[in-house]
Amino acid sequence: MTTFMSRNDLFLFLGFTIVVLAMPIWLAPFGAGYPDLLQRFMIFGIFAVGFNILFGLTGYLSFGHAAFFGVGSYAAVWSFKLLTLDAIPAMIFAVLISGLFALIIGFLCLRRSGIYFSILTLAFAQMSYNLAYSVLTPITNGETGLQLTLADPRVLDAAVGQTFVGQPVPTLLGQQLGGYAGFYFCAGFLILAFFIAQRIAGSPFGMMLKAIKSNQTRMQFTGFNTRPYALSAFVISGMYAGLAGALLAVTDPLAGAERMQWTASGEVVLMTILGGVGTLVGPVIGAWIIKYFENILSALNDNILARFWSFLPEGVADVVVKITSKFVGDGWHLTLGLAFVIVVIFLPGGIMEGVRRIAAAFRRSGSSSAKPSARTQPAE
Amino acid sequence: MEKSNVVLHVADVHKRFGGLHALADIDLQVEEGKTHAIIGPNGAGKSTLLNVIIGKLAPTSGQVVFDGTVLTGRKPYQINQLGIARVFQTPEIFADLSVLHNVMIPALAKRDGMFTLNMLRSLDSETGIRAEAEHMLEDVGMTNRREMLAGSLSRGDKRRMELAMCLIQHPRLLLLDEPTAGMSRHDTNTTIELLKKIKSRGMTKVIIEHDMHVVFSLADKISVLAQGRIIADGSPDEVRGNPKVQEAYLGGAH
């Protein structure tokens, strides 16, 4: 076991698996224990874990990862339309197509680094969005979005003589992937995605990515060609994004161009920074928190707020409702923006840094009161 | 001089930056296993010369040949893979990684080449590389700092670690750009001892240094650079006695 995975990594992985699989139970008291939201937790968790491989480990900030997410969605829906309603071929197809797409875009964008790299990725993503929205309408069905219909060929399903009645729904080995089945399907992929990310971070390859982030010049003078390393990280994170996009198509078989817009690219950056750049768990937590508050806050409206503040005197309540209403509903992005600013200023390492600080404070107070001499210090 | 002993040949190299003739007609031959020091006043072009050798700068004309291979036009990582390592004037290290990892990375470059997609292997299973790195840290006297972040080391320790990062690759040619600048007298002497130890292993070294104590304790041969030209070339004693050198460089020190 020692050479395969260290004890700490194993505990982290097992802990993560348990937390994910038990989500329907422990999230129920927070009003988030229903499949639709849980599926999104899984999907955006995968997106953020993959994004972190590029941004967190390698230090390249992409502002265009929604393009790969969208390509994954389109590829999955096309697989449902042309091949079969089974989800597995769709996932494989989507990951391969988005990986290929990432290879081409990454090859071009990685000729530059820093801000120029970020702008190039943004430009390519917006180009992809516009292509999907208008030019490539035969492939993407433009504004309406790509949908499943009864008239789709589905050659593999037809070959085994399977026919459908009503609206086609993605399946796994004949079982429909709605509700909790859909959640556990996505959860399986999140756990797998986390496992692979953990292996990458703990491999010599992962150390090279961190070294590129730390000092690219030294890497080159140490005998490493850094370009293929960065490109590999780019393609891997593009494949993660494609996987996430495909899962979204599995749970809701409709692919639209808006998934590729720059706001969607920006959202995954926020998730990663909010949770903790470069940490394994941080980006997942960031994704969960953003999706949770999006769900809660965007559902609030003036009536609910009026009831919530009703204990205040009439005039005051009106003013408070007016102010707070700007931060909920469609205005929840305002809340997100504020939260993001506060985290970046006070906790530049994201939520994970907060966790580390609290843990360190506990350890300090615990050891200083109980047995101060037991504190281990690095040998000098 | 026997031609066959020359491992590095800088041939008729010129380097211009706009109107500035930073290197003019440089012809330098470094013999195998020897320590060749390049000295000269500030702005003489010493670092530029090193940058041309290592591939960081392209010469305006002329070429650099290492053991029969033309280096000019090659990328820095290709030049390193041929067996040339460099210590920088300001340490170039991986500040966010531990000292041990800093030293393991060059060892992996030496073993695995310029690119390997070994992402499913565990770093913990690299026991051979790890042992090698620990041994190297012991050699430079940094064993007790191996778990520290490299960025938190003192300036002198950063230089020593960078030297370890180069030595672990067992380069055929080691380029040192002021390896003892910013070190205390004690650390300087430790570094000199270390460099003498490598000398006995037969590694060729090109060293740029301000500290005459270091130069005269290590160098087999000295080239004196002033205003982009080599004004003197020879053994330490010959250079010390050369009036042109006294005037251009050593004279200022008295």
Token pair 């001089």: residue: B1
At A378, phi and psi to the nearest 5?
Answer: -60, 135
The answer to whether residues B175 and B253 belong to one domain is yes
What's the structural domain count of chain B?
2
Strand intervals (E) in B106-153:
none
Q: Is residue B88 part of a domain?
A: no
Cα(B31)–Cα(B54) distance, integer angstroms? 17
pLDDT tens for A244-261 read 999 999 988 888 888 888
Residues B175, B109 share a domain? no
Which CATH number do you get for residue B44? 3.40.50.300
> Cα–Cα distance between A293 and A289 in angstroms, integer?
6
Are residues B32 and B133 located together in one domain of the fold? no
Helix B99-112 to helix B155-167 angle (10° resolution) is 20
What are the structure tokens assigned to B202, written together?
A: 């037969």
**Nearest C-alpha of chain B: how many angstroms from A341?**
25
Q: What percent of chain A has pLDDT over 90?
A: 54
The closest alpha carbon to B205, from B187, B189, B217, belongs to B217
**A2 CB within 8 Å of a chain B CB:** yes
Q: Does residue B185 lie in a domain region?
A: yes
CB count in 10 Å sphere of residue A228: 14
B80/A222 touch (CB, cutoff 8 Å), yes or no: yes
Q: Which among A213, A215, A225 has the least Cβ separation from residue B115?
A: A225
What distance in Å separates the CA atoms of residue B128 and residue B122, rounded to the nearest whole number?
13
The whole-angstrom separation of Cα A223 and Cα A229 is: 13
Q: Of B170, B189, B211, which residue is a domain's last? A: B170
How buried is residue A3: exposed, middle or buried, by Cβ count under 10 Å (0-12/13-18/19+)?
exposed
Length of chain A: 380
* Token pair listed for B251: 């004279």
Kindly give, in sequence order, each residue whose CB lies less than 8 Å from that of residue B27, ignoring residues fewer than 6 positions away: B10, B11, B12, B13, B230
Taking only the tens place, the pLDDT of each residue in A153-179 is 887 887 777 766 667 788 887 778 878
B149 close to A (CB below 8 A): no
- The answer, for A373 touching chain B at a CB cutoff of 8 Å, is no
CA-to-CA distance for B9 and A175, rounded, in angstroms? 72
Residue numbers in A near B97 (CB within 8 A): 207, 210-211, 214
| CA-closest candidate to residue A288, choices A16, A1, A89 | A16
Which helix H or strand E contains B41, and what residues bound it?
A: none
Degrees, nearest 5: CA angle A348-A350-A355: 115
User: Are B81 and A218 inside 8 Å of each other by CB?
Assistant: no
- Sorted by where each begins, the domain ranges of chain A are 7-261
Determine how β-strand B229-234 pairs with β-strand B69-70: unpaired
pLDDT at residue B249, as a whole number: 64
Q: Residue B178: inside a domain, yes or no?
A: yes
A171-191 average pLDDT score: 88
Domain of B114, in residue numbers: 97-170
Q: Which pLDDT band holds residue A367 (cuts at 50, 70, 90)?
A: low
Chain B nearest-CA residue for A4: B122
Instruction: Please say if the pLDDT value at position A280 is more than 90.
Output: yes
Query: How many other C-beta atoms can be found within 10 angstroms of the C-beta atom of residue B13?
Result: 22
Assign B251 a pLDDT band (cuts: 50, 70, 90). Answer: low
pLDDT tens digits, residue range A15-74?
Answer: 999 999 999 999 988 888 889 999 999 999 999 999 999 999 999 999 999 999 999 999
In a domain, B138, yes or no: yes
More confident residue, B202 or B59: B59
Pair B160, B191 in one domain: no
Determine phi and psi for A172, rounding to 5 degrees.
-130, 110
Interface test with B, best of A195, A196, A218 (most B CBs within 10 A): A218
Instruction: Give percent above pLDDT 70 in chain B.
Output: 96
Residue B33 CB partners (closer than 8 Å, separation 6+): B199, B202, B203, B204
| In the predicted structure, residue A372 carries a pLDDT above the cut 60 | no
Structure tokens given for B103:
């030293």
Helix (H, G, I), strand (E, B) or coil at A160: coil
Does position A379 have pLDDT exceeding 50, yes or no?
A: no
- How far apart are alpha carbons B195 and B179 in whole angstroms? 10
Choice among A196-205, A272-281, A357-366 with the minimum mean pLDDT? A357-366
CB contacts < 8 A (A, B): 114
Report the C-alpha gap between A171 and A37 in whole angstroms.
Answer: 19
Calpha distance A65→A257 (Å, rounded): 13
Q: Which of B170, B185, B202 is the last residue of a domain?
A: B170
What φ, ψ does residue A144 adopt, rounded to 5°? -65, -35
pLDDT over threshold 50, residue B167: yes
Residue in this structure with the two tokens 């139970």, named with its chain if needed = A25
**Same domain for B122 and B48:** no
Question: How many Å apart are CA A214 and CA B172, to the nearest integer?
Answer: 27
To test the contact with chain B by mutation, choose from A10, A103, A222, A235 the residue with the greatest count of B C-beta atoms within 10 A, namely: A222
Q: Which residues contact A161 (CB under 8 A, 6 or more apart)?
A: none
Q: Is residue B181 part of a domain?
A: yes
Last residue of a domain, one of B170, B192, B214: B170
Q: Which helix (H) or strand (E) holds A255?
A: strand A254-255
Spatial neighbors of A353 by CB under 8 A, at least 6 apart, are: A276, A347
Confidence grade of residue A375 (pLDDT, cut at 50, 70, 90): very low
- Structure token pair of residue A291: 């999706």
C-alpha dihedral, A274 to A276 to A281 to A286, nearest 10°: 0
Q: Is residue B36 part of a domain?
A: yes
CB-CB contact of B104 with B82 (8 Å): no
DSSP calls for A143-157:
TT-EE--TT---HHH
Higher pLDDT, B41 or A207: A207
First to last CA, chain B: 33
**pLDDT for the residue numbered A165:** 64
Helix and strand element counts for chain B (H, E): 10, 10
Query: Is B75 inside any structural domain?
Result: yes
Same-domain status, B69 and B185: yes
Band of pLDDT at residue A380, cut at 50, 70 and 90: very low
Contact B122 A203 (CB under 8 A): yes
Pairing assessment for the beta strands B84-87 and B173-177 based on DSSP bridges:
parallel
Contact check, Cβ <8 Å, A207/B101: yes
On whether any CB of chain A is under 8 Å from the CB of B34, the answer is: no
**Both tokens assigned to A62:** 């992409």
A342: Cβ contacts below 8 Å, ≥ 6 apart: none
The full length of chain B comes to 254
Question: In the prediction, which pLDDT does A377 show?
Answer: 40
Would residue B117 count as lying in a domain? yes
Name residue A3's amino acid: T
- Using a 10 angstrom Cβ sphere, with 0-12 exposed, 13-18 middle and 19 or more buried, the burial of residue B143 is middle
Task: With beta carbons under 8 A apart, name residues in chain B contacting A10.
Answer: none
Instruction: Kindly provide the residue ranges of all beta strands, DSSP E only, lying in chain B, ordered along the sequence.
Output: 6-17, 20-31, 35-39, 61-66, 69-70, 84-87, 173-177, 204-208, 221-226, 229-234
Per the CB < 8 A criterion, the answer to whether B95 and B149 are in contact is yes
Least trusted range by pLDDT, from A294-303, B156-165, B242-251 = B242-251
- pLDDT attached to residue A374: 38
**Of B95, B113, B117, which is closest to A205 when you measure between CB atoms?**
B117
